[in-house]
Structure formats: structure tokens, C-alpha cells
Amino acid sequence: DIQMTQSPSTLSASVGDRVTITCRAGQSIGSWLAWYQQKPGKAPKLLIYKASNLQSGVPSRFSGSGSGTELTLTISSLQPDDFATYYCQQYKTYPYTFGQGTKLEIK
Amino acid sequence: QVQLVESGGGLVKPGGSLRLSCAASGFTFSDYYMSWIRQAPGKGLEWFSYISRSGDMIYYADSVKGRFTISRDNAKNSLDLQMNSLRAEDTAVYYCARDDRDRDGYSEYWGRGTLVTVSS
């Protein structure tokens, strides 16, 4: 299985900050990566697919980049609604695997 | 709009069985691969099974292989998961998810989930 490691596990930030979450894959996954946002008690929501493609309806302050073994999710200017847990997922090889999650907290 | 509604969760004893269902609406169900993903309480996400549009291709992760069976009924717009020989570590919220149209593999839409608790 491809191991996905996110960093940091927890991130404290303020409204208006620019934040970056990194996802490292145990082997190259090309651009076969998605990012999801999950709020407590809710289902995950797709933000980014194929590493850098913004899902319809997702604000443009979210962006994804990278390929291979190191990929990133950036939020350009944090809004109150963005405080949540973020997961990356590789879908290059079965079983598809998720990172352990990054909890974005209000500083 | 796309809607996925899971049902069938509950409390079951170790070794027992449970059948989950996912009712789909708002899209042409037979056009999409579907997946099951679970999340243990306070933990991360685990993708563990998918089924192709016609049901002829199925995948299970090792953690559930031989115990869980995924199936679909395109006439009823329904996805099912038969879970047998349940273990405490199967305790989780179970989500059904619709894959993307091109079958790249990511989960474009998710249901709200149904909680399965395996405990004596």
C-alpha cells in the first residue's frame, strides 16, 4: 500500500493567513491526488482533484500543486469557514489511501 | 442535485452481520463507479471497496476481503454492503461515495454516513 503522510498534523492559524499543508507519498503517485475538507460530524468534501484541479464550487483561495511524492494544498487567505480537518488521498494504486489528516485550528 | 443516503447502521456483536444500503439520486447511477469508505471514531479515512458501473469489477482492501461484499442494483439506484464476521475494529462511520465521471478514482460526492458499532 502507498503510505501518505501529511504535515503538519495540526496547524494553528488566523483569519487572513496563508497556509500550506504538505502530503508526502511513499512512492511516486504522479498527479493522482485529491484533497478533501471535513468538518466535525460531516462527510468529507472534495476540494482538489488531480493535484491541482479545483472542484466546481470551491473558492479560488484553495489551490493544489506538486507531483510525484510531494504535493501541497494552499489556502491563500484563511476564512472562518476554513477551520476544519484536511485529508489528501492518492488514487494511483489500489488500495487508495488517505493521509492521516491535518487539523486546521484557529490561533 | 446529487444525493447519497446511507442506512442500515447500528450496534452488532462481534462475529455478527449487518447490511448497509446507499440510496442514490440526482444523477444517472449506472454511469458511475461507487465506493465505500469508513472512518473509525476520532480517526482518519479508510477507502476499502469499489464497484464498477455494471458491477463486473469489484475491489476490496485486505482489511475487509472475504468478510464484506459490495453490490449494486442499477434499476433501484442502490449500493449495498454486506458485512459478515464483524470485528471491533470495523466500528466506524461508513460512507458511500460516487466516483468521478472519468473514473480517475477520486470520490466526488459523499453521503452523510451511517454508524456501525461492533461491541458485545
Query: Which letter does DSSP use for residue A104 in this model?
Result: E
What is the chain B residue with the closest CA to A55? B108
> What's the CA gap between A47 and B5, in Å, rounded?
21
Closest by CA to B8, choosing from B117, B90, B118, B116, is: B116
Contact B94, B79 (CB under 8 A): no
Torsion on CA atoms A59, A61, A62, A66, rounded to nearest 10: 140
Say yes or no: B109 contacts chain A, CB-CB below 8 A.
Answer: yes
Say yes or no: A30 contacts chain B, CB-CB below 8 A.
Answer: no
Mean pLDDT of A11-40: 97
Q: What is the pLDDT of residue B103?
A: 83
The confidence band for A107, taking pLDDT boundaries of 50, 70 and 90, is: confident
CB pairs under 8 A between A and B: 56
pLDDT tens-digit readout, B66-81: 999 999 999 999 999 9
pLDDT tens-digit readout, A48-58: 999 999 999 99
